[in-house]
Structure 1
């Protein structure tokens, strides 16, 4: 399972996992069978098959660590700025929750 913080792994643990994937590639290049690679590296065969597919499609680089998973913000710069402004100023609340950025319609200052 993936989490926004990289699965709770430290940088050292992420590096270790990458090393295991590179060892798997070394063995794949030597034409070692997937079940044996799984046993030797103490990983599932499913992982080895996935790594093999990625390696065949993109080489070793496809198995390099890419850092913590996630996605970039999909909001444009204008909306990002507006959202940031909303979080930095005091804004009115209606029924215990924020309705939108700025005062509700018809609200007099």
Structure 2
């Protein structure tokens, strides 16, 4: 969660505590601050037990970052560089596994792929779908090919009336067979 998101959540909790102090029921508090009823009742219980301080966030949940705040600046700088600066020459895409490798080399801290992804989010990076285009791509040649050659290669396609679709309707009793498989009820057993 971003710092702005944490601040918003904190403000909502403080607003809820102020409403509880005014003797407003949790159900109405939930509607006013636009949270679930479950959250409002949980917050009300916390507020009753410990006051407004009980509703104050204790910071982000989960395990703490393995890198110190001073060290967090370096991975961000690595991500600003191209992957070839760290040994990957086949393509220039940072993957979570690739991010974990130089961090492990430089700081002797191992990150899983999901941990590296969370670290990237913490640093302000988000996953991107790489544009898969050749560096030497000639846009004009592609346009000409699409207009001239592709029309010939593509073919006309299927005509609109060639498809088949019908509504399914229940068969009338007259269309049903008189005896179906396993329908030997009228035959005596031996």
Q: TM-score range by the shorter chain?
A: 0.5 to 0.7
- Specify every segment of 5 or more residues in structure 1 that has no aligned partner in the other structure, as ranges: 1-8, 73-86, 89-109
Q: How many residues align?
A: 67
Normalised to the residue count of structure 2, the TM-score between the two structures is 0.33
1:47 paired with 2:39, answer: yes
Q: Report Cα offsets for 1:42-100 as digits up to 9, x if no partner.
A: 1111101100111111111111111111357xxxxxxxxxxxxxx95xxxxxxxxxxxx
Q: Which runs of 4+ in 1 moved over 3 A?
A: none
RMSD between superposed Cα atoms in Å: 2.0
Tell me which of 16, 39, 63 is aligned to 1:24: 16
Provide the residue aligned with 1:59 in structure 2: 51
**SS of corresponding position for 1:68:** coil
d(CA) in 2 for partners of 1:70 and 1:37?
28
Contact 1:24 1:37 in 2 (8 A): yes
Normalised to the residue count of structure 1, the TM-score between the two structures is 0.55
Q: Which has the larger radius of gyration?
A: 2
- Specify every segment of 5 or more residues in structure 2 that has no aligned partner in the other structure, as ranges: 65-106, 109-190
d(CA) in 2 for partners of 1:45 and 1:20?
14
